[in-house]
């Protein structure tokens, strides 16, 4: 596959499409999306006239799972859950994607397994079980108390008592998700085999789940109270920091181990999921011999309020700490947080897309954001996800049919509003959000300054306007976004510019000194 003229790797500046397979397309009528459904809809992503034109697809887990954490509680890392299909379906999907020059990333969830995983089942049989040390066990404190004050991300103690063997096991997430002990070389070897299993099948890399949590303090020290800054990153439930169970230096060594395996194969990519500010992300990313991850998702923009100041700060921090060969991987939505049109308001989706797809680094889109899908306002019981993430996981809306073209059966989660928001209608409408995503992705692909160029935030703009310049060589691309509710005059700029992309109707050339941006208007301009 060809690389962009100035890209060092296919993933530099790439657009990655995050697919939640359970909700993408069902071909069997069981109401659950499957691999064949993804294969049949690849036209939407790449290699067709109406494709979005993304570079890669990341699949949330499709492995056999315990049904507790949306697929992130895995029972077998080297198999496909029957509801998603078979290994043959996966091979077919990878081959079909590659024919379209679309790369495929799998989700690597190896901080923990399901409590139904054979490794844990065996470890639970006795204190001397062969795989006992593959997990993190500790004796009760006097009085039967939990071993320390660590709190699970989903709430409650990060320890669960195992009555049969009289010890507690540690879990970062739900009690049904025991953490693996990454200090154990056998665990390292077993997971290296899992990586090779998928790499041998031709997958192009992995999104590494919760990468910062892979190593815990060997002495299991109590966590101190959190400092304010950490609060934003959901890592301190109960007001405690995660000083001794998150971001320990050993986590980087584990990732370096993954990297060594991935580097046995050409052109494979490791993308981390790390909730941390860019200063900290940088310590995980490729740099010389200590190379770990190639990139990590940067959640800061997605976690920002709709405010020029917050957007500027998030971008500025990434610029300060993630300069080449590092770069940010931006996303606004994912399967763990409310969709951004629901957080910021659907009328801001066009401008959000224009800003997102003009940023430096790689971009990760969440399925359905290209048509403006919002959270389901009232997902009925039975609740599928105990932590409340059902609203942002509802099925993809392909058509105006009440079942959205997603299934012919009973959907595992209700469709939200397919009659109002769907791919088919937006494909036929050149003014749709889908058309704007396509145009912005196409522009990014064709424009080295946008895909690989530097980024400089502009000062001296009206307070409701976000502006930055992307440059490569002599090419200068201006991105202006009026995030406010009032018209904004941009008097400060001189010269003329060509409109390359716009949230509204504007096209042709503009005189910069005379531009008045309408509320929520955004422009991508080539100056000079
Ligand atoms: C991160 C995943 O994105 C999330 O969905 C999951 O609940 C946790 N890891 C735990 O597996």
Residues 147-162 have pLDDT tens digits of 999 999 998 999 999 9
State the pLDDT confidence band at 287, using cuts at 50, 70 and 90: low
Q: Is the CB of 58 under 6 A from ligand 1?
A: no
CA of 422 to the centre of ligand 1 (A): 27
For 297-344, how does the pLDDT look when each residue is reduced to its tens digit (9 = 90+)? 988 999 999 999 999 999 999 999 999 989 999 999 999 999 999 999
- Residues known to be catalytic: 209, 264
Cβ neighbours of residue 15 closer than 8 Å, sequence gap 6 or more: 52, 53, 54, 55, 56, 357, 362, 363, 364, 365, 441, 444
CA Rg value for the chain:
23
**In which element (H, E) is residue 445 found?**
helix 433-446
* Max intra-chain CA distance, the chain: 77
Q: Using N-to-C axis directions, what is the helix angle for 433-446 and 349-356, rounded to 10°?
A: 10
Q: Of all protein residues, whose CA lies closest to atom 5 belonging to ligand 1?
A: 336
Cα separations in angstroms, 443 against 54, 447, 452, 501 = 12, 6, 12, 8
Contact between residue 195 and residue 277 where contact means Cβ atoms under 8 Å apart: no
- Residue 425: φ, ψ to 5°: -65, -40
Extract long-range pairs of 465-473: CB within 8 Å, 24+ residues apart: 465/308, 465/490, 465/517, 466/308, 466/311, 466/312, 466/355, 468/315, 468/358, 470/358, 470/360, 472/6, 472/448, 473/448, 473/449
**Long-range pairs, 44-50, Cβ under 8 A, ≥24:** 44/423, 45/17, 45/100, 45/102, 46/97, 46/100, 46/101, 46/102, 47/99, 47/100, 47/101, 47/102, 48/100, 50/427, 50/438
Q: Cα(62)–Cα(20) distance, rounded to whole angstroms?
A: 9
Looking at residue 65, what is its pLDDT? 98
pLDDT digits (tens, 9 = 90+) for 55-108: 999 999 999 999 999 999 999 999 999 999 999 999 999 999 999 999 999 999
Closest ligand 1 atom number to CA of residue 177: 11
Residue nearest atom 7 in ligand 1 by C-alpha distance: 69
Cβ(159)–Cβ(151) below 8 Å: no
Could you tell me the pLDDT band of residue 286, with boundaries at 50, 70 and 90?
A: low
Q: Quick check: bond before 393 cis, omega within 30?
A: no
353-367 pLDDT, tens digit each: 999 999 999 999 999
| DSSP H helical ranges for 24-181 | 35-40, 42-45, 87-99, 118-123
Distance 484 CA to ligand 1 centre (A): 34
Cα 463 to Cα 483: distance, rounded to the nearest angstrom = 9
Ligand 1 atom nearest the C-alpha of 112 is 11
Structure tokens, 326: 């590092």
Cβ pair 188, 182 in contact under 8 A:
yes
Q: How far apart are the first and last CA of the chain?
A: 34
Question: How confident is residue 2, by pLDDT bands cut at 50, 70 and 90?
Answer: very low
Binding site membership of 69 for ligand 1 (Cβ less than 6 Å): yes
Using CA atoms, how far apart are residues 359 and 311, in angstroms rounded to an integer? 11
Quick check: CB of 210 below 6 Å from ligand 1? yes
Atom nearest to 387 CA in ligand 1: 7
281 and 215 Cβ atoms separated by less than 8 Å: no
Q: 173 in ligand 1 pocket by Cβ < 6 Å? A: yes
Out of 60, 107, 173, mutate this one to test ligand 1's pocket (max ligand atoms within 8 Å of CB): namely 173
How far are the Cα atoms of 89, 394, 398, 410 from residue 417, in angstroms, in the given order?
30, 10, 11, 16
389 Cα nearest atom in ligand 1: 5
Q: Residue 391 in 3-state DSSP?
A: helix
Pocket flag, ligand 1, residue 209 (CB < 6 Å): yes
Q: Strand, helix or coil at 351?
A: helix
Whole-number Å distance, alpha carbon 54 to ligand 1 midpoint, is 24
Long-range contacts of 445-449 (CB under 8 A, 24+ apart): 445/4, 445/53, 447/475, 447/477, 447/500, 448/4, 448/5, 448/6, 448/472, 448/473, 448/475, 449/473, 449/475, 449/476, 449/477
Pocket-testing residue among 20, 61, 62, 72, ligand 1, by greatest number of atoms within 8 A of Cβ: 72
Counting runs of H as helices and runs of E as strands, what totals does the chain give?
Answer: 13, 19
Q: Does 72 sit in the ligand 1 pocket, CB within 6 Å? A: yes
- The band of 459, judged by pLDDT with boundaries at 50, 70 and 90, is very high
- Rounded to whole angstroms, the Cα distance separating 65 from 61 reads 9
> Could you read off the pLDDT of 111-158 as tens digits, one per residue?
999 999 999 999 999 999 999 999 999 999 999 999 999 999 998 999
Which conformational region is residue 31 in: left (phi greater than 0), alpha (psi within -120 to 50 degrees), or beta? left
**What is the three-class DSSP state of 123?**
helix
- 384-390: average pLDDT: 93
Positive or negative torsion for Cα 27, 32, 33, 35: negative
Query: What whole-number distance in Å separates Cα of residue 368 and Cα of residue 426?
Result: 12
């Amino acid at each position: 596959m060809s690389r962009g003229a100035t890209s060092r790797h296919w993933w530099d500046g790439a657009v990655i499409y995050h697919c939640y397979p359970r909700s993408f397309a069902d071909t069997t009528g069981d109401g659950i999306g499957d691999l064949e459904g993804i294969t049949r809809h690849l036209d939407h992503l790449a290699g067709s006239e109406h494709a979005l034109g993304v570079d890669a697809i990341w699949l949330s887990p499709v492995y056999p799972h315990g049904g507790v954490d949306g697929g992130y509680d895995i029972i077998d890392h080297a198999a496909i859950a029957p509801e998603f299909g078979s290994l043959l379906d996966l091979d077919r999907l990878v081959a079909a994607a590659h024919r379209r020059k679309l790369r495929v990333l799998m989700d690597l969830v190896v901080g923990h397994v399901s409590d139904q995983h054979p490794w844990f089942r065996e470890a639970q049989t006795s204190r001397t079980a062969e795989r006992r040390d593959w997990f993190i066990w500790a004796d009760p404190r006097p009085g039967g108390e939990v071993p320390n004050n660590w709190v699970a991300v989903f709430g409650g103690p990060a320890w669960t008592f195992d009555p049969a063997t009289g010890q507690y096991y540690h879990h970062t997430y739900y009690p049904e998700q025991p953490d693996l002990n990454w200090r154990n070389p056998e665990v390292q070897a077993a997971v290296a085999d899992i990586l090779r299993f998928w790499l041998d099948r031709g997958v192009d890399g992995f999104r590494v789940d919760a990468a910062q949590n892979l190593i815990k303090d060997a002495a299991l020290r109590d966590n101190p109270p959190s400092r304010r800054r950490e609060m934003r990153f959901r890592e301190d439930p109960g007001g405690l920091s995660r000083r001794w169970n998150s971001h320990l230096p050993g986590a980087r060594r584990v990732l370096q181990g993954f990297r060594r395996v991935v580097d046995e194969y050409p052109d494979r990519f490791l993308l981390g999921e790390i909730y941390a500010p860019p200063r900290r992300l940088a310590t995980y990313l490729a740099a010389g011999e200590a190379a770990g991850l190639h990139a990590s998702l940067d959640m800061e923009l997605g976690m920002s309020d709709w405010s020029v100041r917050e957007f500027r700060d998030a971008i500025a921090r990434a610029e300060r700490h993630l300069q080449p060969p590092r770069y940010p991987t931006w996303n606004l939505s994912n399967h763990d947080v409310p969709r951004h049109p629901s957080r910021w308001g659907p009328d801001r989706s066009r401008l959000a897309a224009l800003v997102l797809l003009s940023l430096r680094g790689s971009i990760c889109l969440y399925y359905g954001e290209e048509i403006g899908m919002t959270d389901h306002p009232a997902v009925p019981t039975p609740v599928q996800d105990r932590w409340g993430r059902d609203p942002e996981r509802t099925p993809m809306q392909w058509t105006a049919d009440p079942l959205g073209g997603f299934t012919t059966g009973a959907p595992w989660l209700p469709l939200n509003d397919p009659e109002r928001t769907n791919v088919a209608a937006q494909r036929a409408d050149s003014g749709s959000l889908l058309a704007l995503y396509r145009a912005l992705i196409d522009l990014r692909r064709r424009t080295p300054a946008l895909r690989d160029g530097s980024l400089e935030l502009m000062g001296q703009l009206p307070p409701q306007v976000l502006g930055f310049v992307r440059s490569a060589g002599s090419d200068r691309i201006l991105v202006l976004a009026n995030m406010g509710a009032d018209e904004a005059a941009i008097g400060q700029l001189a010269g003329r510019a060509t409109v390359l992309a716009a949230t509204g109707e504007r096209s042709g050339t503009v005189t910069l000194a005379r531009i008045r941006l309408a509320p929520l208007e955004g422009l991508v301009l080539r100056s000079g």
